[in-house]
Amino acid sequence: MQSEMQLLKRYDSVLERIQTACLKSGRKTDDVKLLAVTKYALAQDIYTLLTNRKVPFIAESRLQESLIKWGQPPLSALKPIKFFIGQLQSNKIAKILTDFDIICSIDSLKLAQRINTQSEKLAKAATCLLQIKLTQKQTQGGVSMGEAAKLIADIRQQCPAVKLAGIMAIAPQTGDAEQLRPLFKEVKKFFDDNFEQDAYLSLGMSEDFEVAVQEGSNLPRIGSAIFG
Ligand SMILES: *Cc1c(COP(=O)(O)O)cnc(C)c1O
């Protein structure tokens, strides 16, 4: 556990940096929501943050760990809107659908069809983001930008219970966020061509969220810059 004050200060400073990035690029600060990534954070720290600040959304990537963490006190008393940002395994989809509000990592028609089937069983529409792959890393999920438009069309046509609500992408680690600007611009253009303005464009993490927000991200996902 860390001092509550340090934690809240780091959170406030991330919010300020988002606001500054909005001002610099002429965007309304209200249009950008912070997705607090709690996957590595201690339950007590998450509790402190959520009970002291209006945190709109949280994100987890590991199903089992998150079920345990959020299923017992103190976090079981809180009901934030939860995003699943991990890679999807088809045998866990029913559980993820039950426990999470938004799934951020659809990257194939097969997964979308599985989600569609489970959603229909649960009689609950599945709000999902399409994960676009921006790196060459074998282990990283996502569909390439070249294949994404076709996948979006297929999902919209074949998976009525899947509500595609936007895009999520993880940028390559460069050590210099400025280098990512052209890539973020490219994703924003793709987003504009394929989604309504009020859809989610989730770009940017602790290392690169200011550039991502300047280039149009409306849902930066931030873990370590908040929780250390
Ligand atoms: C862990 C994670 C993040 C947050 O990363 P930080 O660098 O700690 O901000 C964002 N998005 C995804 C998909 C993640 O897995």
Whole-number Å distance, alpha carbon 198 to ligand 1 midpoint, is 23
Residue nearest to atom 6 of ligand 1 (CA): 223
Give the pocket of ligand 1 (CB within 6 Å). 37, 39, 61, 85, 170, 205-207, 221-225
Tokens at 68, concatenated:
């345990």
User: Mean per-residue pLDDT for 116-134?
Assistant: 97
DSSP code, position 8: H
Calculate how far, in angstroms, residue 226's C-alpha sits from the geometric centre of ligand 1. 11
Residue 217 has pLDDT above 80, yes or no: yes
Per cent of the chain over pLDDT 70 is 99
Residues 84-111 pLDDT 10s: 999 999 899 999 999 999 999 999 999 9
Decide: 141 and 87 in contact? Cβ < 8 Å: yes
DSSP symbols for 64-75? HHHHHHHHSTTG
Most informative mutation of 14, 58, 66, 85 for ligand 1 (most atoms within 8 A of CB): 85
pLDDT at 46: 98
* pLDDT > 90? residue 118: yes
pLDDT band at 139 (very low <50, low <70, confident <90, very high): confident
* Centroid of ligand 1 to alpha carbon of 159 (angstroms): 28
The rounded distance, in Å, linking the Cα atoms of 156 and 167 is 14
* Centroid of ligand 1 to alpha carbon of 221 (angstroms): 6
- CA angle (45, 55, 225) in 5-degree steps: 55
| Atom of ligand 1 lying closest to residue 205 CA | 9
Strand partners for 196: none
Rounded to the nearest whole angstrom, what is the distance from the C-alpha of residue 157 to the centroid of ligand 1? 31
As a whole number of angstroms, the distance between CA 142 and CA 182 comes to 19
Q: Where are the domains of the chain?
A: 4-227
Cα pseudo-dihedral 156, 159, 163, 164, rounded to 10: -50
Q: Ligand 1 centre and the CA of 123: distance in Å?
A: 31
Looking at every residue in the chain, the average pLDDT score rounds to 96
pLDDT at 138: 85
Q: Is the pLDDT of residue 1 over 60?
A: no
The domain made up of 4-227 is a member of CATH 3.20.20.10: yes
| For residue 119, pLDDT beyond 90 | yes
Between CA 122 and CA 140, with CA 67 as vertex, the angle to 5 degrees is: 85
